[in-house]
């Protein structure tokens, strides 16, 4: 049984999106294209919004997916943000 058969194509595309966006943000942080925490958050939210705009979902389900994806990405980036000394507004 493959992952697509187990969780479905939509959930698989979300998982792939999470990993690709995490890798993309990590590369941008290392190249110093993104260096403020708020800048990183805005970039991630913009990418998440553009990913989910193509899907026709109810508003509550859409917001739940967006929050889950955002929290997963930020959790995966937590150590990277500490290692690279990202600027943060207090």
Domain ranges of the chain: 7-83
Q: What pLDDT is stored for residue 51 in this prediction? A: 95
Pairwise CA distance, residues 27 & 78, whole Å? 14
- pLDDT tens-digit readout, 62-85: 999 999 999 999 999 999 988 888
The per-residue pLDDT for 56 is 87
- The model's pTM is 0.88
Answer for the pair 15, 21: CB distance below 8 angstroms, yes or no. Answer: no
Percent of the chain at pLDDT > 70 equals: 97
- Residue 34 gets which letter from DSSP? -
Using DSSP, state whether 36 is helix, strand or coil.
strand
């Amino acid at each position: 049984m493959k992952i697509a058969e187990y969780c479905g194509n939509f959930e698989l595309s979300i998982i792939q999106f999470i990993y690709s966006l995490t890798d993309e943000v990590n590369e941008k942080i290392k190249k110093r294209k993104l260096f403020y925490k708020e800048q990183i958050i805005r970039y991630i939210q913009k990418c998440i919004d553009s990913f989910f705009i193509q899907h026709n979902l109810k508003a509550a389900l859409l917001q739940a997916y967006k929050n889950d994806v955002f929290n997963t990405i930020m959790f995966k980036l937590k150590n990277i943000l500490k290692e690279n000394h990202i600027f943060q507004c207090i």
